[in-house]
Structure 1
Amino acid sequence: MRKLCIVLILITILSAIHVNAFKYDIVREVNLDVPAVSQTSNGLIGVLSRLNVVVAYPGSGRVYFSATPLTELDTQATARIAALVSSSVLGDEYLRYDFFVSLESESLIIGGPSAGAAIAAAMMVAMLNIKGQEVTVRSNVTLTGMINPDGTIGPVGGLYAKMKAAAEKGYKVFIVPYGQSIDYVEKTIVEQRGPLRIIRTVKEKVDLVGEGEKLGVKVVEALTIYDVFKYLTGYEFKTKKYIVFMPVEVREKLKSWSISLLGEYDSLISYKYDSRLSNAVNEASKLASEARSMIDTSPYVSASRAFSALCIMYYVKYADEYLKSSNKEKYISDLIGNINKTIIEIGSILNSTIPSIKCIEAYIGAKIRYAEALEMLNNALNAMSSGAILNMYDGCLYYLAYSRQRAISARSWLEFNIAGVSVNLTTLMKSSSILLYEAQSVLGYVSSLYSDIGQSSQIVNKASEIYNKAKQAFISRDYYLTIGYSIESVAYSTIAIHLAFTSSIEAIIDASSSIANNAIGNAIEADLDPVLSLSYLELAQSSVSNTEKLYYYILSATYSKTALIISRTTNTTASIPIVTYIGEPNPQTSTPHPKTLTIVQNSLSRESIQQIITVIAIILLILSIAVVYLYSRSKNTSK
């Protein structure tokens, strides 16, 4: 009993201390109804859930989620992604705020991330209100859709049922993901064939636009969070539209790389090699030919092809020398020693370089490539131990050839670095931790989505592998490498989402291209040199595979956005764009719920929270005193 009393008193003290944990200067709240589906004995029906989003400032990036009834993990992960996306769209840091999200429904709804777009849009409204911009939301609009890490809107199910539920509550506009104005509903057909009664279920096509008109609901499609925000609030972001081109000096630098690599390739191809290596020589020749044809039009793609050709030719050179060597073990040992020496020398140059903010992308690119060189060297040692010496692409000699060239390419990227303002350690650590958190959040999100559909994905596994590298780099305090790996992990996770859940991959690619161009344009306007972003943009534009296009567009956009955020954080005089809008919202008055979508200012204020927690603390204190009193009395009675 005495222990219980002590516990109660400690809880009381901690509760009193915790009063100060929720001190916010500004709190804004947004409430809206979002449609969901509920499973009944008669099949799926649409229901409206109540979404409450509170954003508080100043915060520390905490995201709280609650649901009644309890929902699934992907909905909870959605809230975290929504916080990251909304902050990114507004050019702000999520660490400056705390986010509180609750979802309540009278029915047991089917779990899923379909409220993601609504959560993100509501967070944007609340954050803009915190910034002093009086953005309101339309009371006759509701929506459904996933929020993807790149700000695009992902597909959801049960659209027809959701639209009918929205219409019954008087909503006049229903926002759906791009490409989903056509839905399919299950219909039970009963056929009597003689004494037999046959019951079968078929999927019936439903035109949501046409059916919506009958119900008095206008159905609109949204491709990105910008579209959602425009339809939901009536406000539109005034953003510049960029179509960027690689600067002449960057093009010339990349062309010089390609020419140099091809020159080295030519010096190797002239030798006569063992006939067993002819396939590798032919592959290298094909890549070199492609590189030559692209030097003027796509210099980075050309340099990439030339790099691959040279890796293969060094593999051919090493393999030929190995086959002719009388002491093969000594040959490999000496080769490893020479390449390791080259890597160490380049590592010394890399670590002694102080990158400027202006050229931070190039330095991160160098760090990523150097880390890959070390990884390939380790792979070579493992392959040698297992006896895989001559294997093309996964043998010891190929790994050594690749390791050498990758280390040299890391040194090449340092050529873009110029003297200037450097990034301070605090800013670098903070930026890397933000990106690491984003990589973790997006990976958790995509993992939960794939778990729901009972599938696995090699791309998700790749994202997880790279995330673990990012985490290890952060532990080792290599913050530039953390940033690079985190960006790659986010890119792979985002691709996995699009490939599995996006209904129109071409539209997503177009949107990703626009996002990348605008991100690079913003970086250039801020006097940054986004050479890595420009290079990846060129790779995306020249790729045939949709997967590669998406990957490089996402890398391109994320690198530019990251460089811009670091620049603004370091340079306190740099201006942060203020979001402006066109078109005042003009909500229709026919809706029976004129206050369904409202912005309530200063709810959950600091004083209110303190009062609530203080009352709880007093109650706990009274309980602890009562317990002590009753315990003492019982002891006296027993005597």
Structure 2
Amino acid sequence: MINKILLVIIVVLMSASSIHALEGGVTVPLVADRSTTDGGDEGVLLGATVIVQNGTGHVFVDTSPYTQVDLQGSARLAAMVASDEMGVDQKAYDFYYIIDISSPIIGGPSAGGALTVATIAAMNKWTLKPGVVMTGMINPDGSIGPVGGIPFKLEAAAAKNTSLFLIPEGQSTVTVQKTITTKKGAFEYFNVKEETVDVIELGKKLNVEVKEVGTIQDVVLAFTGNTITKPEINGTVLTSNYLDLLEPLATSMKQEANGIYEGAAASNPQGPLIVQSKDILDRAETMYKDQKYYAATSLYFQAMFNMRTSNWNDGYARAADKEQYLMELVNKVDTQINSSETALESFKSYGVSDVSAIGAAESRIMAARVKLDEARKTNNSDEKIASLAFANERARTAQWWLTLAIPTDKVIPENILKDRAGWYLSQAKSINTYMIELVTESGGHPGGISGSSEDIDNAEREMQRGYYAGAIFDSLQATVKSSTTIGLFGKVDTAKKSEQSRDAAKAAINDARLAGIEPTLAVSAYEWAETMTAPYDQIFQYSYAKMVAETSTVLNSHSVTTNKTPIKPVLPPYVPEALPSPAATATETKSQVPAFEAVTAALAIILVASRLKRN
């Protein structure tokens, strides 16, 4: 009764606004699994009403009784995937999911596919065919994920005159546990045994056609008869403009990394980090020659971090006053972070034009500050030096990203960035919670699964600091990590999924360019994915590239014209770091390491020059 009252209230409220949905929404059957009194399983057919209206990106889930987190997570994911499939901004709509649950059910991920098709139908004013029921998770990339209890669900659907039953691809033959009850006198004995079931054959016995579906497009076609078409992808991703933009940075980093290596190898040729750095530099050289410039810069960064750590460890070992040496390192790194932050704020003073470049810079400055804080808190000298070396190099990459910015005469208002940052952060938290719930239910341990929680923590820090662009892209990274983990549940054809992710990223990048945007951050993630071999890493990077390109397009649609165009920073010149001589005394070594003064001075000169040029 409460659900019916809520539905009436929602429909009345919607009638006063511009509605992009069927009046009263779309009702779709849901099939679930529940426990029986003897410890077995049985299927149960439920119902859900989905309403979509113009709004601000809220997802409302009403169930009676209250259900587990995974059913709510399925609804949120359904809204995200439906918006993505239709090529619309999710934040332009509100989504209502009213689910009638007659009895407690086991989990809720299997409702995801049905909720998604109902959402798409509501957005397009399509009706659903009667007699069609499905079970299957919805994955963030639009694929249908595996579920349990399929035979029990099929039996429940058949009892309600279902004619077509859709199941996830690859699950036409499943193994289930059946409970056999026997009585001996006053006692009942339960015996659980495994049984392999051919679901298609079971469907024939029940007079129901069973069909496998792999994507939400397959589901939409089966439920509505409509086809979701994707535009043909033309053109290349790594364009000459992109390569021309990245090549100077890669060349500069190549020179610097090799210069540092020559000095480090001369003083400590067999040091483990130096030997490792040589291998990384060789791989970077291959990437550079293949014009994989972003991949090369990432490897140069890793090598410089290793060599910086090695050099500073060497300096610490030689220092007469080790506490003073560490204090000087902390101060030098703090100076580097402040220098990068000053350059960022100067660039942003004209407004946020290239949102992805600024977001990348903000994210890296925040990561550097987190590592600096970690270094200050630890008493372990090895950990302290490693954290300081990482913080130093990460802060420098913020300035590198500013040199990749493409300023225009349009900026995105801060209130838009702040609002979007909060929304993307909320989305990331929801998907992360859903992922953790699924991992826990499957018997796994969520800790360290995807690293999305760390990205969420960074996004929250960035929100507090006013780094809204950084918060957006760290939230997106968290969402994609959680989504990739969800999408790899069960038996997955990773090669096929990687190819689909690549095509989706390519399409999103192409759409951004058609909108007049060069999505450098998205293209760099795409390029990085091209060099990877591990399925998770490859799928994650392609998916991140897609989401960054789409988000950049949405954000730039809110940009406004300005009469001020920022001057793009230039690359700071490479100044070799003075390294301690093997024969130097402890006191001499302490005064020589680290030598940041020349680099900091060069950065200051460039910053002052750019300000004079702007004035």
TM-score normalised per structure 2: 0.80
State the match for 2:174 in structure 1: 183
Decide whether the 8 Å contact of 1:66 with 1:102 is kept in 2.
yes
- Between the aligned partners of 2:144 and 2:517, the Cα distance in structure 1 is 30
- Between the aligned partners of 2:466 and 2:103, the Cα distance in structure 1 is 48
Decide whether the 8 Å contact of 1:357 with 1:567 is kept in 2.
no
1:263 partnered with 2:255:
yes
1:362 partnered with 2:357:
yes
State the match for 1:165 in structure 2: 156
- Between the aligned partners of 1:228 and 1:359, the Cα distance in structure 2 is 38
- Between the aligned partners of 2:65 and 2:258, the Cα distance in structure 1 is 68
Moved more, 498-507 or 440-449: 498-507
Superposed CA deviations along residues 74-101 of structure 1, whole A, max 9, x for unmatched, are: 2123222222332233233444333322
- Between the aligned partners of 1:106 and 1:308, the Cα distance in structure 2 is 56
User: Which AA in structure 1 matches 2:168?
Assistant: P
- Between the aligned partners of 1:165 and 1:374, the Cα distance in structure 2 is 56
In the alignment, which of 48, 51, 54 is matched to residue 54 of structure 1? 51
In the alignment, which of 36, 44, 53 is matched to residue 32 of structure 2? 36
* Deviation of 1:342 (Å): 2.5
Decide whether the 8 Å contact of 1:315 with 1:398 is kept in 2.
yes
1:555 partnered with 2:552:
no
- Between the aligned partners of 1:342 and 1:378, the Cα distance in structure 2 is 14
State the match for 1:245 in structure 2: 237
Cα–Cα, structure 1 residues 108 and 312, in superposed 2: closer, same or farther, change >3 Å? closer
Q: Note the 1:461-610 alignment, pairs <5 A.
A: 462-501=451-490, 503-570=492-559
- Between the aligned partners of 1:255 and 1:216, the Cα distance in structure 2 is 63
1:286 partnered with 2:274:
no
User: Which AA in structure 1 matches 2:258?
Assistant: D
Q: 3-state DSSP class of the match of 2:110?
A: coil
Q: 3-state DSSP class of the match of 1:236?
A: coil
Cα–Cα, structure 1 residues 85 and 514, in superposed 2: closer, same or farther, change >3 Å? same
State the match for 2:406 in structure 1: 418
- Between the aligned partners of 1:325 and 1:105, the Cα distance in structure 2 is 70
- Between the aligned partners of 1:352 and 1:226, the Cα distance in structure 2 is 47
Decide whether the 8 Å contact of 1:376 with 1:403 is kept in 2.
yes
* Deviation of 1:265 (Å): 2.4
* Deviation of 1:157 (Å): 0.8
* Deviation of 1:20 (Å): 7.4
- Between the aligned partners of 2:13 and 2:31, the Cα distance in structure 1 is 37
Decide whether the 8 Å contact of 2:79 with 2:95 is kept in 1.
yes
- Between the aligned partners of 1:265 and 1:465, the Cα distance in structure 2 is 29
State the match for 1:382 in structure 2: 377
State the match for 2:131 in structure 1: 140
State the match for 1:450 in structure 2: 439
User: Which AA in structure 2 matches 1:350?
Assistant: L
Decide whether the 8 Å contact of 2:356 with 2:520 is kept in 1.
yes
User: Which AA in structure 2 matches 1:416?
Assistant: L
- Between the aligned partners of 1:342 and 1:40, the Cα distance in structure 2 is 64
Moved more, 67-76 or 402-411: 67-76
Q: 3-state DSSP class of the match of 2:109?
A: coil
- Between the aligned partners of 1:437 and 1:81, the Cα distance in structure 2 is 13
Show structure 2 runs of 5+ residues with no match: 1-8, 183-187, 562-615
User: Which AA in structure 2 matches 1:294?
Assistant: M
Q: 3-state DSSP class of the match of 1:399?
A: helix
- Between the aligned partners of 1:238 and 1:499, the Cα distance in structure 2 is 25
State the match for 2:608 in structure 1: none
Decide whether the 8 Å contact of 1:377 with 1:403 is kept in 2.
yes
User: Which AA in structure 1 matches 2:45?
Assistant: L
- Between the aligned partners of 1:571 and 1:216, the Cα distance in structure 2 is 60
Q: 3-state DSSP class of the match of 2:32?
A: strand
- Between the aligned partners of 2:330 and 2:37, the Cα distance in structure 1 is 69
User: Which AA in structure 1 matches 2:433?
Assistant: G
Q: Note the 1:305-320 alignment, pairs <5 A.
A: 305-320=299-314
* Deviation of 1:107 (Å): 4.8
Moved more, 222-231 or 268-277: 268-277
Decide whether the 8 Å contact of 2:178 with 2:192 is kept in 1.
yes
- Between the aligned partners of 1:20 and 1:262, the Cα distance in structure 2 is 61
Cα–Cα, structure 1 residues 30 and 337, in superposed 2: closer, same or farther, change >3 Å? same
- Between the aligned partners of 1:381 and 1:535, the Cα distance in structure 2 is 33
Superposed CA deviations along residues 21-71 of structure 1, whole A, max 9, x for unmatched, are: 99544353111222222322463222211121122x343444332334543
Q: 3-state DSSP class of the match of 1:313?
A: helix
* Deviation of 1:361 (Å): 1.7
In the alignment, which of 197, 203, 222 is matched to residue 212 of structure 1? 203
- Between the aligned partners of 2:86 and 2:555, the Cα distance in structure 1 is 15
In the alignment, which of 344, 347, 351 is matched to residue 353 of structure 1? 347
Decide whether the 8 Å contact of 1:113 with 1:145 is kept in 2.
yes
Q: Note the 1:57-68 alignment, pairs <5 A.
A: 57-68=53-64
Superposed CA deviations along residues 146-203 of structure 1, whole A, max 9, x for unmatched, are: 2233433222111122223333433332222233222212346899xxxxx9985432
Q: Percent same amino acid at aligned positions? A: 28
- Between the aligned partners of 2:207 and 2:502, the Cα distance in structure 1 is 36
- Between the aligned partners of 2:366 and 2:446, the Cα distance in structure 1 is 25
Cα–Cα, structure 1 residues 24 and 502, in superposed 2: closer, same or farther, change >3 Å? farther
Q: 3-state DSSP class of the match of 1:202?
A: strand
- Between the aligned partners of 2:121 and 2:531, the Cα distance in structure 1 is 38
* Deviation of 1:504 (Å): 4.2
Superposed CA deviations along residues 284-324 of structure 1, whole A, max 9, x for unmatched, are: 01100111112132222122112111111122222223323
User: Which AA in structure 2 matches 1:221?
Assistant: E
Decide whether the 8 Å contact of 1:68 with 1:105 is kept in 2.
yes
Decide whether the 8 Å contact of 2:137 with 2:145 is kept in 1.
yes
Decide whether the 8 Å contact of 1:149 with 1:442 is kept in 2.
no
State the match for 2:417 in structure 1: 428
Cα–Cα, structure 1 residues 211 and 312, in superposed 2: closer, same or farther, change >3 Å? same
TM-score normalised per structure 1: 0.77
* Deviation of 1:562 (Å): 0.7
Decide whether the 8 Å contact of 1:336 with 1:400 is kept in 2.
yes
State the match for 1:333 in structure 2: 327
Q: 3-state DSSP class of the match of 2:238?
A: coil
* Deviation of 1:123 (Å): 1.4
State the match for 1:400 in structure 2: 388
Moved more, 253-262 or 293-302: 253-262
State the match for 2:593 in structure 1: none
- Between the aligned partners of 1:514 and 1:232, the Cα distance in structure 2 is 25
- Between the aligned partners of 1:358 and 1:139, the Cα distance in structure 2 is 50
Cα–Cα, structure 1 residues 174 and 340, in superposed 2: closer, same or farther, change >3 Å? same
- Between the aligned partners of 2:449 and 2:268, the Cα distance in structure 1 is 40
- Between the aligned partners of 1:441 and 1:461, the Cα distance in structure 2 is 15
- Between the aligned partners of 1:563 and 1:310, the Cα distance in structure 2 is 30
1:232 partnered with 2:223:
yes
* Deviation of 1:122 (Å): 0.8
- Between the aligned partners of 1:24 and 1:459, the Cα distance in structure 2 is 45
**Aligned residues between the structures:** 537
* Deviation of 1:356 (Å): 7.7
The one of the two structures with greater contact order (alpha-carbon pairs below 8 A, sep at least 6) is 1
In the alignment, which of 116, 136, 148 is matched to residue 120 of structure 1? 116
- Between the aligned partners of 2:560 and 2:46, the Cα distance in structure 1 is 44
* Deviation of 1:283 (Å): 0.5
* Deviation of 1:540 (Å): 1.9
- Between the aligned partners of 2:503 and 2:167, the Cα distance in structure 1 is 21
* Deviation of 1:507 (Å): 3.9
Q: Note the 1:613-632 alignment, pairs <5 A.
A: none
User: Which AA in structure 2 matches 1:554?
Assistant: S
* Deviation of 1:423 (Å): 0.7
- Between the aligned partners of 1:399 and 1:94, the Cα distance in structure 2 is 39
